[in-house]
């Protein structure tokens, strides 16, 4: 089984959202682990502007974002737009994760007050 060059791989684990290159490095590392069975490694990452400083922590991987718009080819712009179409899904997953964590915390607090 091989990965097509235009396939997207999303990490299975959502990390806490922060705007640091360290998070980008962690996500890339996790994606590389998930792709080991395919025999390929991530070479290009399409990310939010918050990860624009991730270039120095990941020198062997190209990080593309809309901040580099003038340097992107037409094909890269098309792939970036494709990534942007799933942003509402990512936001929804983060919202569910935050709500679940808050609910669990509230339930634990009620359990200890009884």
Q: What is the mean pLDDT of the chain?
A: 70
- Residue range 8-22: mean pLDDT, rounded: 53
Residue 111: in which H helix or E strand, if any? helix 87-113
- pLDDT score of 2: 47
Here the tokens at position 92 are 């929804």
pLDDT at 9 over 60: no
pLDDT, tens only, 92-106: 777 777 777 777 776
Q: Which residue has the higher pLDDT, 63 or 21?
A: 63
Would residue 101 count as lying in a domain? yes
Would residue 57 count as lying in a domain? yes
Q: Give strand pairing partners of 45.
A: 63
Would residue 46 count as lying in a domain? yes
**Domain limits for position 81:** 21-113
Would residue 97 count as lying in a domain? yes
pTM: 0.52
- pLDDT score of 1: 42
Domain count of the fold of the chain? 1
């Amino acid at each position: 089984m091989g990965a097509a060059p235009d396939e997207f791989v999303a990490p299975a684990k959502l990390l806490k959202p922060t705007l640091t290159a360290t998070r980008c490095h962690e996500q890339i590392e996790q994606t590389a682990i998930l792709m080991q069975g395919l025999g390929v490694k991530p070479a290009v990452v399409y990310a939010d502007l918050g990860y624009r400083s991730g270039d120095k922590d990941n020198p062997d991987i190209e990080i593309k974002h809309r901040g580099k718009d003038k340097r992107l080819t037409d094909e890269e712009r098309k792939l970036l737009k494709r990534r942007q179409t799933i942003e509402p899904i990512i936001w929804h997953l983060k919202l569910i994760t935050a709500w679940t964590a808050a609910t669990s915390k509230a339930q634990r607090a009620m359990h200890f007050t009884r």
